[in-house]
Amino acid sequence: MELDDVKISRAIIESFMEDFIDYTDIDVAIVGGGPSGLVAGYYLAKADFKVALFERKLSIGGGMWGGGMMFNKIVVQEESKRILDEFGIGSQKYDDDYYVADSVECVSTLCSKATQAGLKIFNLISIEDVMMKESKDVAGLVLNWSAVEMGRLHVDPLTIRTKAVIDATGHDCEVVKVVEKKVGPKLNTETGTIMGEKPMWAEVGEKALMDNTKEAYPGLYVTGMAANAVYGSPRMGPIFGGMLLSGERIAEILIEKLK
């Protein structure tokens, strides 16, 4: 076969534009492609929701690739081992109740299974704002190319409509921060504001995460490290069971709400 360079370009442009237009009006938008966002996306897609995940970086996986301090292994506790099994991710038992998994296998498998289940991932796109109408509920996302953000270029963004947004942006809880700035102390937290992440304490952080995984503001849900940052709970370092369970939990909440 004779290759036509222009045909290759057209194939890419047409196919991307088709997807991009198709995902301007969706059920759920996930911001952040770390473990919690990927797991949430997998379960929502599996339940047949139209769901897209937007990731600022070139690579998906957030803080999972590097394991602990670049030793590329992650640890999960007994309760979350079933999620590794659901994805078909291998793990070795360590001591009684801990399991160790290869972080590269984890990220690549989460990504592969989630996209195969129907999650649409857009990488290299940053969320810079939300859309709100009269009710002041979060009703959409304002996005731009990460290259525009990095280059500090003065280029207006585009907007998509969605029934729910999940903030899975990790420690920075970026979407909740944007909303807090717009609406003031009206978040569903004790103070109405972002309470801030507390120092490392895996035992408390992992347990609190399940309670913190919820709707933080009408239309805006939190999962993963973003949930602990919003609700003032400890960080937990390279134990990832809570991230997986939190992703599953937020998907369950939304499946119930949107069905």
Q: Which residue ranges make up the annotated binding site?
A: 36, 55-56, 63, 127, 154-156, 171, 225, 235
- In the complex with ligand 48F, the residue whose CB is nearer, 44 or 127, is 127
Identity of the residue, 169 or 189, whose beta carbon is nearer to ligand 48F in the bound complex: 169
Q: Is 23 helix (H, G, I), strand (E, B) or coil?
A: coil
What is the closest distance, in whole angstroms, from the C-beta atom of residue 31 to ligand 48F in the complex? 5
- Shortest Cβ distance from residue 199 to ligand 48F (Å)? 13
Interacting residue ranges for ligand 48F, rule: CB under 6 A: 31-37, 54-57, 62-64, 126-127, 168-170, 172, 174, 224-226, 235-237, 239-240, 243
Q: Which residues are annotated as a binding site for NAD(+)?
A: 36, 55-56, 63, 127, 154-156, 225
Neighbouring CB atoms inside 10 A of 28's CB total 26
Size of the chain, expressed as the number of residues it contains: 259
Q: Which residues are annotated as a binding site for Fe cation?
A: 156, 171
Closest C-alpha among 48, 53, 59, 51 to residue 38: 53
Smallest distance from ligand 48F to CB 218, Å: 20
Cβ proximity to ligand 48F: between 74 and 139 the closer is 74
CB of 157 vs ligand 48F, minimal distance in Å: 11
Which lies closer to ligand 48F via its Cβ, residue 187 or residue 225? 225
CA-nearest of 120, 129, 167, 135 to 26 is 120
Residue showing tokens 């299974």: 113
Smaller CB separation from ligand 48F, 131 or 259: 131
- Strand 51-55 versus strand 73-77 pairing type: unpaired
The phi and psi torsions of 12 (rounded to 5 degrees) equal: -65, -50
Query: Hunting for tokens 């009703």 — which residue is that?
Result: 139
Two tokens, residue 213: 């995984």
Give which of 11, 4, 51, 50 is closest to 30, Cα–Cα. 51
